Every structure is written in C-alpha cells, then in structure tokens.
C-alpha cells in the first residue's frame, strides 16, 4: 500500500503537468496527498521541514544560474547576436543544408548558456525561412530544433553551462567538464545519428511529394496542404554585415566558455581552504567548502561577463527595449527555478516516505550497477515530471548519498556518475507534457500529432546513448 501511495502521487503530478497546471502549486499538493494517505499527523511537519527546506535549498543554490542564464539569452537575442550568428552559419553551410544549419545554430546558442526556451524563439524564424526556401516539410522543424537545443549541448558535451549539467556538481563535488571523453563521444553519436534520422525523414517526404506546407492538393490519395500558423515575417535577404561584426557576434558566447574554465581553475586558488565565516566573527553562517560551489560560482561569473560583452556588441539596439526584455527574462527565470524547486521539494517528501524504501530497493535489486541504476531512475523520474532538471532533482534528492556510496565502493569516478545522471535527465523528459516541447510546438504553430513523432525519436536516441556510454566506460574504462 505504501508503494501504491507513491505511485499514485507521481501519477497525479504527471497528470496535472500534462494538463498544463503549474507544478509550483500541484507539486506540494501531490506530495502532501501522499503524506496524508500515509499518516495524516505528518502533513504539516513534512510541509515545513521537508518540502520547504528542499525547495528553498534548491532555489538558494541555483537561482543565480537560472537568472543570469535567462538574462544572457535575452541580451543575445535583443542585441542581434543570434541573428548575426544564424546568417553566418547559413552563408558558410548553405541554405540547402537547412537542417544542419538549424541544428548547429541551436547547439551554439545552448552550449553558450542561452536558455532552451529562448533558443526556441530565437531559432524558429530562421528555421521557417530556410525550410520554406528548401521546401522541407515544416513539421520537421520541431525535431530539428530539439536535436540542436535539447540533446547533446544541453547535458552531454563537457563544459555546457546548462542547469542540467550544473546540478550534479554539488552532489558529486565535480565540475561541468566531468567525464569529457564520455560526454564528447556521446554528444557526437547523438549529433550524427540524429542528423541521419532527420535527413532520411526529409528524403522520404520529398519522395512522397511533400513540401513545406504539406502535400500538393492535386496529389492522389495525399493529405491536403496544412494550414500554416505562426509564420515569421522576417526574411534572410538582408544586407551582409562586415566581417568584423560577424566575428564579434561570437565573442560573448566564446567568453562564457573560456571564462568558465578560467574561473574553474582560479577559484580553488582563491579559496584553497574554502571560506570559514567564523574567522570573521560570523559563526552562524558556517563554512563553505570550495568543491561544493566551484561549478556554480564559475558559471555565474562567466555568464555575468557574457552579459556585459553581449551588451557592448550593440548597446544602442539593446537600450531601446532593455527594461522590458530584462523584466521578461527575470520573470522566466523565476518561473523556471520555482517549477524545478517545487519538483525538488516533491522528491524530498517522496524520498522520506516509508514506501520509497521499497522503490529504492526494487531498483537497486533490479539494476545492481550504480550507473545503470542512476540512469534508469533519473530518466524515469524526468519522464514522469516532464522535466530534466526536475527528474534529476528528485533522483538526487532521494538517492545521491546512496549513489555516492555505491560508486565509492565500486571504484567508479564521481565524474562518470555526474555525466550519466546529467545525460539521463535529458532522455525521457521530453514526453508530451514537457514544458519545452509544448513551447516548441506552440511557437512553430504545429501540433503533437504533426511533429511529436520526430521529437520522440530524438528522445529515444538520447536515452539509448546514455546506456551505450555506460557500456563504453565498462569495456574501456575511458571517461
């Protein structure tokens, strides 16, 4: 019965998320519903001392990353940097290779720290124009953007400042460059196979006579042309920028990556023994251990420098709508961190219930390998919650100590567990109720029926890749 209660709470959270209700409200409701069914006397104490403690702890640790990432993405968009990079890529690759151009554009932006949601809005206008020019079915745009923004640069490639690669650092005392060989090989595999899939879909559509807007109305037994929605007004026929402007557009993005590495190496030298507040008469604030905050501090400072560099790229253009853009990005960051924090609090409550021991022991008995265990648990919970960071938060909130003990006893480097957990979080998270998927389809003016199949196939590819990388590490020891 205790196990049924947990499954019921998880199912309820998944249902309300799928229906579009905010998890900020329903994550605590679902968690406390499970507590109520277990023992009504526990409801208020569990809310105050478990749910709120876990939620506030997550927000305390990660809100600056969410905030600075959102602002950086908005400044990159408002300054024209995203547009300049897009046109540079198109000129280098050619409009005929529209799918590759859009994948690379999304990859560059996400790997530089731009929020996934911002990337969707920034990339879509270029994707629509390129796909229309190459007469590639519009329904393939969401899958193309998903491959570039939601997969290998989100959590596989070492050094990505996306939150899915930052969260594990605080649990395993690693940095965002953890397991570079495993992450790079996995990322390359996803890119190559994902491109093969999308190109084969394009080829099949052309052979069937399907173009940007669907099939020609005269094609026998073919579906009629679909109604095009949310078509962008912008075109790619604009004046070519000077070469120096094209180069400068990449500078803020490169700075984030470079400075992130610089701070990762420098901060341990600044605080070799951490920082003890008692040394300055503030005993109540305890001591900060440098490894626990290294990745977060490095990303924060790198993003701050990136924001300043992006503003200098074209400050007069940014100044026009700076206040409105800043407010939008702050609102988005608040919503994102509150959503994930609420799911993290939900995970803390579920982990404290008696029934979770059955779940934990069941997974452990079924998957004795700690890497496989972590991957299965994380991707399952990410799928249930519809959130990569949320599923990861629940998994690590509940089982991080157990994972640490398992890899220590098994001689597995914490960097390997970091990369496995990070990549697994971005697997089954993109089920139909995922917020990024819903946003992507809404922005492109398409429906789940038209385009979700391709997003799902990219998701399956990402999930399979995690286990292939576990196998690679087990066979070779390389990571």
In whole angstroms, give the CA distance from residue 425 to residue 389. Answer: 7
With contact defined as beta carbons under 8 Å apart, do 74 and 119 qualify?
A: no
pLDDT at 16 over 60: yes
The answer to whether residue 274 scores a pLDDT higher than 70 is yes
- Could you tell me if 420 and 206 are in contact, meaning their C-beta atoms sit under 8 angstroms apart? no
Q: Compute the distance between CA of residue 361 and CA of residue 290 in angstroms, rounded to an integer.
A: 33
At residue 211, φ and ψ (nearest 5 deg) are -115, -160
Tell me phi and psi for residue 214, to 5 degrees.
110, -155
Tell me which range, 71-80, 204-213, 302-311, 383-392, is most confidently predicted by mean pLDDT: 302-311
Choice between 134 and 454, residue whose per-residue pLDDT is larger:
454
pLDDT confidence tier of residue 373, bands split at 50, 70 and 90: confident
What is the spatial distance between Cα 360 and Cα 398, in angstroms, rounded to a whole number? 9
Task: Indicate the pairing of strand 275-276 with strand 210-211.
Answer: unpaired
pLDDT, tens only, 390-444: 778 777 877 778 888 888 888 889 999 999 999 998 877 776 666 677 777 777 8
Residue that the structure tokens 């790198």 belong to: 302
Reduced to 3 states (helix: H, G, I; strand: E, B; else coil), residue 200 is helix
**Residue-wise DSSP of 306-347:** HHHHHHHHSHHHHHHTHHHHHHHHHHHHHHHHHHHHHHHHHH
pLDDT digits (tens, 9 = 90+) for 157-197: 898 888 788 888 888 888 888 999 999 999 999 999 999 99
Per-residue model confidence (pLDDT) at position 224? 53
pLDDT the model gives residue 254:
83
Query: Helices 388-410 and 163-172: crossing angle, nearest 10°?
Result: 30
**What local confidence, expressed as pLDDT, does residue 12 receive?**
84
Residues 120 and 114: their CA atoms lie apart, in Å, by: 10
Q: Cα separations (Å) of 448 from 149, 222, 345, 459?
A: 18, 20, 30, 14
Of 94-98, 369-373, 423-427, the least confident: 94-98
pLDDT digits (tens, 9 = 90+) for 335-368: 778 877 887 788 788 878 887 777 666 665 667 7
User: What local confidence, expressed as pLDDT, does residue 218 receive?
Assistant: 46
Asked whether the beta carbons of 394 and 350 are under 8 A apart, the reply is yes
Question: Collapsing DSSP states into helix, strand and coil, what is residue 275?
Answer: strand
Angle between helices 243-270 and 81-93 (to 10 degrees): 120
Q: Is 102 helix (H, G, I), strand (E, B) or coil?
A: helix
Tell me the Ramachandran region of residue 225: left when phi exceeds 0, alpha when psi lies from -120 to 50, beta otherwise.
beta
For range 98-123, the mean pLDDT: 81
pLDDT score recorded for residue 359: 66
Higher pLDDT, 25 or 77: 25
- How distant is the alpha carbon of residue 333 from its chain centre? 13
Instruction: Write down the pLDDT at residue 226.
Output: 65
Question: Would you mind telling me the total number of residues written for the chain in this entry?
Answer: 479
d(CA 250, CA 198): 27
On the CB side of 328, how many CA atoms lie within 13 Å of its CA? 14
**Residue keyed to tokens 């547009």:** 83
Say yes or no to pLDDT of 108 above 50.
Answer: yes
Residues 196-239 pLDDT 10s: 999 999 999 888 888 887 775 544 444 556 677 767 655 555 45
- pTM (2 decimals)? 0.72
């Amino acid at each position: 019965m205790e196990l049924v209660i947990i499954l019921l709470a998880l199912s309820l959270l998944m249902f309300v998320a799928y229906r579009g209700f905010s998890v900020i409200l329903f994550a605590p409701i679902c968690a406390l519903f499970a507590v109520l069914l277990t023992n009504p006397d526990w409801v208020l104490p569990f809310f105050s001392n478990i749910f709120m403690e876990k939620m506030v702890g997550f927000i305390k640790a990660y809100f600056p990353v969410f905030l600075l990432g959102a602002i950086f993405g908005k400044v990159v968009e408002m300054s024209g940097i995203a547009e300049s990079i897009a046109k540079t890529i198109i000129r280098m690759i050619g409009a005929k290779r529209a799918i590759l151009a859009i994948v690379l554009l999304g990859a560059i932006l996400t790997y530089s720290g731009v929020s996934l949601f911002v990337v969707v809005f920034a990339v879509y206008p270029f994707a629509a124009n390129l796909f229309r020019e190459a007469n590639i079915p519009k329904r393939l745009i969401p899958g193309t953007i998903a491959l570039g923004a939601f997969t290998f640069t989100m959590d596989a490639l070492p050094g990505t400042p996306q939150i899915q690669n930052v969260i594990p650092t605080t649990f395993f005392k690693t940095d965002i460059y953890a397991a570079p060989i495993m992450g790079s090989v996995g990322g390359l595999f996803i890119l190559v196979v994902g491109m093969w899939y999308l190109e084969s879909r394009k080829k099949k559509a052309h052979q069937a006579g399907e173009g940007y807007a669907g099939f020609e109305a005269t094609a026998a037994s073919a579906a009629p042309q679909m109604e095009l929605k949310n078509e962008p007004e912008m075109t790619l026929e604009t004046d070519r920028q000077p070469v120096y402007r094209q180069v400068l557009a990449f500078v803020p993005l490169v700075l984030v990556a470079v400075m992130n590495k610089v701070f990762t190496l420098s901060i341990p030298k600044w605080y070799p023994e951490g920082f003890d507040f008692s040394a300055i008469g503030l005993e109540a604030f305890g001591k900060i251990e440098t490894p626990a905050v290294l990745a977060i501090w490095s990303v924060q400072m790198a993003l701050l420098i990136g924001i300043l560099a992006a503003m200098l790229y074209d400050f007069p253009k940014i100044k026009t709508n700076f206040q409105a853009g800043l407010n939008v990005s702050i609102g988005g960051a608040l919503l994102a961190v509150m959503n994930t924090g609420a799911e993290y609090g939900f995970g803390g409550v579920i982990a404290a219930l008696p029934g979770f021991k059955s779940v934990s022991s069941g997974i452990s008995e079924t998957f004795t390998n700690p890497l496989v265990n972590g991957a299965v648990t994380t991707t399952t919970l990410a799928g249930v919650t519809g959130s990569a960071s949320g599923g990861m938060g629940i998994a690590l909130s509940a089982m991080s100590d157990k994972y640490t003990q398992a890899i220590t006893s098994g001689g597995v480097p914490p960097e390997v567990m970091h990369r496995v957990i990070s990549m697994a979080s971005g697997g089954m998270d993109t089920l139909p109720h995922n917020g990024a998927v819903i946003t992507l389809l809404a922005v492109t003016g398409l429906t789940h029926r038209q385009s979700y199949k391709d997003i799902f196939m990219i998701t399956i590819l990402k999930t399979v890749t995690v286990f292939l990388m576990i196998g690679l590490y087990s066979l070779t020891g390389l990571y």
